[in-house]
Structure 1
């Protein structure tokens, strides 16, 4: 029996990210997801929103059908 998973090439936060310290954040997503590690990827609030930051994922954990990522923001692209 296979394990269902989803491959993601951007971080979609939906406002659920949690700041850990400085520019490091964690985000929990339902299900098992694969993310590229140690390369810059886009961060968006939703799939349809504008590209507003660049991050590098430092850690991915799978547990109890949940994926938790630790990422570092490396650039903001917001007009605020």
Structure 2
């Protein structure tokens, strides 16, 4: 029996990100997901929304069919 795994090349937050400190955020997603690490990756609120900026993923944790992503926002396209 295999493990379901999704490969992502963009961070889609859906507004669920949690600021941990300064530009460091945590995002929890359902299922097991794989992201490129230590490479700039685009951040969007939804798949079809405009880009909010770029982030570097620093840590990914898999546990109980969930993925927890820790990322640092490295550039912001515009402020709220």
Superposition TM-score, scaled by structure 2 size: 0.97
Q: Which consecutive segments of 4 or more residues in structure 1 shift more than 4 A?
A: none
Report Cα offsets for 1:3-60 as digits up to 9, x if no partner.
0010000000000000000100000000000000000000000000001110000000
C-alpha distance in structure 1 between counterparts of 2:29 and 2:79, whole Å? 27
Give the root-mean-square deviation of aligned CA atoms: 0.9
Superposition TM-score, scaled by structure 1 size: 0.97
Structure 1 residues 32-47: aligned runs within 5 Å: 32-47=32-47
* Unaligned segments of structure 1, at least 5 residues: none
Instruction: Kindly tell me the number of residue pairs found equivalent between the two proteins.
Output: 80
